[in-house]
Amino acid sequence: MEPKLGFHELLHVFSFLEARDLLCAAQVDKVWNEVSGTKELWRQLCLRRWSSCKTSQMTLGTQTWKEYYLCRSELEFRMECGRPEKDFICKAIAGHTGEIDELAYISTKECRFDGQEKSMVCTVSSDSTVRAWDVQEGTEIWSSPLQPAALVNVVTFPRLQLAITVDERGLIKVWGAENGWEQASFRLPTFSSALQACEHSEGPFLLVACAEGFLYALTVPQLQLRSRTRVFPSSPTSLLCSPDCQWVFASTQNSDLGPKVFHTRSLLCLVEDEPPVSTTLPIWLTSRACWAPDETARLMVTHRNDNGTQLVITTYELRTKQSREGVDVVVQQMASFLLPNSMTPPHLMKGHGSQVILLVSGSELALFTIHGVQLAAFQDHQRPITSMWVVSVGLPVLHPHLKSPWPHLTWLFISRTRAESSPLPLTYPCESMCGIKKRSLPSSRAAITCLGAPTDGPVDSPMWKATV
């Protein structure tokens, strides 16, 4: 009778096998099946294939290393085998002669593949034009006349089919999304530091912050002044509306002045001689903030601790309370944690779900819970990341034949860097923590990228890429 290899001997032999061979070995007998499914074998396979899969950088949770390897491999395979016009769209489009500064969807359902509605985006550029594009066809729908100054920001009201732009001198204009006709304008005394579209129950409004520290509320589409509120004296202000547009967060970076939260309705319906309903958060040297998209009033803020030596992320819940004097804002701290000392101060911050925070520091992306547990870290970019998008989709809609242990994934999109030769972009499924590398593209050739195989286009043309 031939001697049989023991468990440890088999484990040593199997450590030289690839994934396909391990799956075959698992079908031999019960012992081989047990050995071939060993955690350490599949962990080493993951580390050999994807260097970013480090135990210190990710939490597997209920996923095994084997499940992680097989699902990620399947995703990458389907990316390589994507069917043009069915699984992805990749179009090279030419038009803008300057750098594209901002992009916003005009179509109500963002990217569509059902043929029932066009997927349209609007872009502004340093070439002083605003343009609308058909994403599926890769064609320009309309372009505005040359404006007096470079356009620096754009927001849209898809329901009203309107795009609103502002130039570097503070001139705001409303454009019809269907034909590009100018409908109204409003001039700020100085340049604008922030624009926010607000679909409120009181009606659609535009919130604008200017460099002098004032917050303007303008009606849409007429751009009539509804209110003007001093927020921070002579300081550029950033704005963030809550998911339900009931709250507005206003801050000025790295200032001793604490950030403020306004109840939106009080900005739109000011009572004479009464200030809008607001509160100042008890923090200072604020750098970044975001709202939790799955909560109506959960705010996460990055700031310095009391002695100014460490970065802290604090999570707040907001609500209003009726009092004798009127309406008060009630702020409850939900969680707070210190960022690692080794981490560069983040320059981008987004919320995911109700519990996860995504931070970008230089070329690194990190995911934390609101309690400070680091879920993952990715260092796949070669140059600093300049922007990111978080878009929720259901995986069965994306790939109906993919059997995945993660029924719902959220895809994170990281856009180009400013450098011409920088890699663009990388796409990560947030919930599965599976980083999917994309092929590098020159910075002037891209504005949106989702799943699907890259397609070459003219170097001087913006590249659109989107999937469902």
> If DSSP codes are grouped into helix, strand and coil, which group holds residue 321?
strand
For 144: left if phi > 0, alpha if psi spans -120 to 50, otherwise beta; the answer is: beta
Question: What tens digit of pLDDT does each residue of 325-353 get?
Answer: 778 899 999 999 999 988 888 988 999 88
Task: Report which of residues 180 and 114 the model is more confident about.
Answer: 180
What per-residue confidence (pLDDT) applies to 111? 57
Residue 37 in domain: yes
DSSP state of 144: P
pTM of the model: 0.67
- Give the pLDDT band (50/70/90) at residue 180: very high
What per-residue confidence (pLDDT) applies to 452? 27
* Cis before 221? omega within 30: yes
Residue 85 in domain: no
What per-residue confidence (pLDDT) applies to 436? 31
Report the pLDDT averaged over residues 49-70.
64
- The CA-based angle 336-249-324, given to 5 degrees, is 95
Question: What tens digit of pLDDT does each residue of 348-382 get?
Answer: 899 988 899 999 998 888 899 999 999 888 776 66
Task: Look over the chain and give the mean of its residue pLDDT values, rounded to a whole number.
Answer: 76
d(CA 435, CA 419): 23
Question: What tens digit of pLDDT does each residue of 215-228 get?
Answer: 999 999 999 999 99
Residue 60 in domain: yes
Task: Report the share of the chain in percent with pLDDT over 90.
Answer: 31
Amino acid, res. 231: V
Residue 39 in domain: yes
The phi and psi torsions of 216 (rounded to 5 degrees) equal -105, 140
Question: What tens digit of pLDDT does each residue of 62-80 get?
Answer: 468 888 888 778 767 766 6
Residue 14 in domain: yes
Residue 434 in domain: no
Question: What tens digit of pLDDT does each residue of 306-316 get?
Answer: 888 899 999 99
Tell me which residue range forms the domain holding 44.
7-80
Query: Is residue 93 over pLDDT 50?
Result: yes
What per-residue confidence (pLDDT) applies to 460? 32
Residue 66 in domain: yes
Domains held by the chain: number: 1
Residue 13 in domain: yes
Q: What is the CATH classification number for the domain harbouring 26?
A: 1.20.1280.50
